[in-house]
Amino acid sequence: MSNNPNTLFDKVWDAHVVRKIEDGPDVFFIDRHFIHEVTSPVAFLGLESRGIDVMFPECTFATADHNTPTINQHLPVEDPLSANQLQALERNSAKYGISHWGLGDPKNGIVHVVGPENGITLPGMTIVCGDSHTSTHGAFGAIAFGIGTSEVEMVLSSQCIMQPKPKKMRINVNGQLGKAVTAKDVTLYIIAQLTTAGATGYFVEYAGDVFENMSMEGRMTVCNMSIEMGARGGMIAPDDTTFNYINGREKAPKGAAWDKALAYWKTLKTDAGASFDKEYNFAAAEIEPMITYGTNPGMGMGISKHIPKATDLAGGVATYEKSLKYMGFEEDQLMLGKKVDYVFIGSCTNGRIEDFRAFASIVKGRKKADHITAWIVPGSHIVEAQIKEEGILDILTEAGFLLRQPGCSACLAMNDDKIPAGKYAVSTSNRNFEGRQGPGSRTLLASPYVAAAAAITGVVTDPRDLLA
């Protein structure tokens, strides 16, 4: 053990290096591997064609989420291609002895929601999944990131991947967040400051009292979006908020094992004087409720602002103009008051109980705007049950909303939840890329408060005007 000050990231990374290859990547051991139906089938085919087995099946967890319908989940899946993928996941999991939470299972839900809520995600772990939003799990002080299918095959067959160690970045946000400013606004603000590629090549640690005072749900929202500024992942040092969240969850350690784990977890923080390759400081007071106006998550701004002019930005003018043309917007326009057609609340970014509480706090006692189509999609069956237990469903129903069943849904529109061409959606998801929510769809990323305000008024609305 070195006495030099060390970062949280280094502590966790270095504890998982099986071998260092000179002028090459590290052979990096993986503690937890999540798989879903879309990015795993070809990896299993690879195992078959090579005639190799799964090395540690107890470290891999399967759940179906990307391709699942969000209504009538008790009926057979209509799309034969989707059904085929779901069956392949079930078949492959059974064949190799991997835990599988398929459609209809009470534990089923979005992979980055069910991992934490069942105590599979723990501090100090290395966690991967064939999904870029695996960075979510960094909220627990884990190193968690998305991988490709070739790497899924590596983890299945050897519990390792070959990974060059990223550089280190720390982002500090301190101060008091304003009214209706959520974790989503904090992350959209950071991404707008750094741009969509501003953290590529880095692993981020989020620090400062804004994150210290944030719930686990909020921390997951922030870490989830790390990839949207190019970072492989982001993490937050575990503390009592983390430990209290984990304690008692189904797969969390219990008894003596808990005490031992807790003693280790308490060492997982960046030492004073440890150095980072890059560091940013932001003031909480600068952050407004945010909304995006363009076709990457870095194209976001405070909801009361005007759309920037191309000449005020660093990137190329042609790409910027292409983006605004796709969105049907112009430079210098105000976003407030723009007509919205769809509202989507859900996804691995904002599909947790706290998000539905925030949404309900605005819609309570009001009515959905007539022309708005709203898709309210919990991140898991456990979240769905909480929505019902807490009376949120009653509030939603009275306001004219329908609660759907869990899944990734309109975040990536692999199932039937597609925003039609040319329509505007205020979405609590993570990507506003062209066609992300359906061919020709136009996405405005925002928090659950902003989504709720749009669902009630039918236009882009500052949620501070509707919050008591």
Q: Please give the residues from 38 up to 57 whose contact with other proteins meets the rule CB under 8 A.
A: 38-39, 41-42, 45-46, 49-50, 52, 55-56
For the CB of residue 389, give the shortest distance to other proteins in the complex, in Å: 33
Alpha helices in 97-239 (DSSP H): 111-117, 149-158, 183-194, 209-212, 216-224
Write the interaction track for other proteins spanning residues 285-304; mark x where CB under 8 A is met and - where it is not. -----------x--------
Contacts of 30 (CB under 8 A, 6+ apart): 16, 59, 126, 127, 128, 155, 159, 160, 161
For the CB of residue 463, give the shortest distance to other proteins in the complex, in Å: 27
For the CB of residue 158, give the shortest distance to other proteins in the complex, in Å: 4
Partners of 344 in the beta sheet? 375, 427
Report the chain's terminal Cα–Cα distance, integer Å.
53
Asked if 94 touches other proteins (CB under 8 A), the answer is no
Asked if 237 touches other proteins (CB under 8 A), the answer is no
Structure tokens given for 435: 């066609």
Considering only residues 343 through 402, tell me which ones interact with other proteins, judged by CB under 8 A: none
Q: Which is nearer to other proteins, 124 or 406 (CB)?
A: 124
Contacts of 407 (CB under 8 A, 6+ apart): 65, 66, 68, 69, 70, 109, 110, 377, 415
**Element holding 143 (H helix, E strand):** strand 143-146
Considering only residues 191 through 210, tell me which ones interact with other proteins, judged by CB under 8 A: 196-197, 200-201
For the CB of residue 166, give the shortest distance to other proteins in the complex, in Å: 8
For the CB of residue 170, give the shortest distance to other proteins in the complex, in Å: 18
Asked if 315 touches other proteins (CB under 8 A), the answer is yes
The answer to whether 352 and 321 have CB atoms below 8 angstroms apart is: no
Asked if 439 touches other proteins (CB under 8 A), the answer is yes
Which span sits near other proteins by CB under 8 A: 157-165, 175-183, 281-289, 347-355?
A: 157-165
Q: Which is nearer to other proteins, 67 or 461 (CB)?
A: 67
For the CB of residue 59, give the shortest distance to other proteins in the complex, in Å: 7
Which span sits near other proteins by CB under 8 A: 26-34, 106-114, 264-272, 332-340?
A: 26-34
Asked if 224 touches other proteins (CB under 8 A), the answer is no
Contacts of 117 (CB under 8 A, 6+ apart): 109, 249, 380, 382, 383
Structure tokens given for 218: 């909020």
From CA 351, how far away is CA 407, in angstroms rounded?
9
Asked if 18 touches other proteins (CB under 8 A), the answer is yes
Q: Which is nearer to other proteins, 42 or 403 (CB)?
A: 42
From CA 165, how far away is CA 139, in angstroms rounded?
20
How many other CB atoms sit within 10 Å of the CB of residue 140?
29
For the CB of residue 142, give the shortest distance to other proteins in the complex, in Å: 15
